[in-house]
Amino acid sequence: MKKILLILALSFLNINVQAAYQVEIIIFEHLFHDAEGEVSHVGLKIPDLSNTVQLSSDTIGHDAAFRLLPSSMYKLGGVYSELRSSREYKPILHLAWQQPQLTQSRSKYVHIRKADGIAQQDESDDALVKLDGVIRIRSSQFLHADVDLFYFINELSESFISANAGTLDSSQIQAEFVELNETRRMKLNELHYFDHPVFGMLVRVSRLSPEQ
């Protein structure tokens, strides 16, 4: 009887260890886009970063369950190369992260940010914000992705925002942007395309093995 209980306990532990995802995204711009009717103006109140996780490869001071993965673990390198060589698309961001399998009530949004020409984790105060938003991967009976991304056409300098945020009303600090807001049911190991007339995103979610 004790042996059976031990086997069951180890099986349960193994399930918990395996319950982690690798989320990989590629965000790209349509070079010949028509933004007419898509552009909005906004102050400093977007995006909503409450209950968000800041990705980092360093787990010190960050949520260790969510961490950036090295490029050696990327699965979509070939797709990224195709986009780079295309005359119709310009890749903006390619990254992957590890996160636990979480239900909607326990799930967290991941903060996605890209300054023009600078990697997400290496941004400086003078960087021009090109992309900002959140992505949430949640799982219950089915896997879902919640996406809310803002692509800035007229970028704002981080140093300008920091210097003026306390003195200027948000309506005085505006930038043109387009928004991609969508919730979609997904399947593991499938490549999903989130479309917008100005920019798009490819997302692939797969399980991480315990060794990873």
> Is there a domain that residue 197 lies in?
yes
> Is there a domain that residue 83 lies in?
yes
> Is there a domain that residue 12 lies in?
no
92-129 pLDDT, tens digit each: 999 999 999 988 888 999 999 987 654 454 544 445 77
> Is there a domain that residue 112 lies in?
yes
Q: What is the mean pLDDT of residues 169-179?
A: 63
> Is there a domain that residue 200 lies in?
yes
Average pLDDT over the chain reads 78
> Is there a domain that residue 14 lies in?
no
23-49 pLDDT, tens digit each: 999 999 999 876 665 665 555 456 677
> Is there a domain that residue 178 lies in?
yes
pLDDT at 60: 56
The string of DSSP letters for 94-150 reads EEEEEEE---TTT--EEEEEEETTB-GGG--TTPBEEEEEEEEEEESSSEEEEEEEE
What DSSP character marks residue 157? B
CA angle centred on 211, ends 210 and 212, rounded to 5°: 90
Q: What is the mean pLDDT of residues 161-182?
A: 63
Q: How many domains does the chain have?
A: 1
Greatest extent of the chain over all pairs of C-alpha atoms, in Å? 71
State the pTM of this model: 0.77
pLDDT at 12: 45
Q: Structural domain of residue 44, as residue ranges?
A: 20-207
> Residue 164 — left, alpha, or beta (φ > 0 → left; ψ -120 to 50 → alpha)?
alpha
> Is there a domain that residue 143 lies in?
yes
83, two tokens: 């986009």
116, two tokens: 């023009």
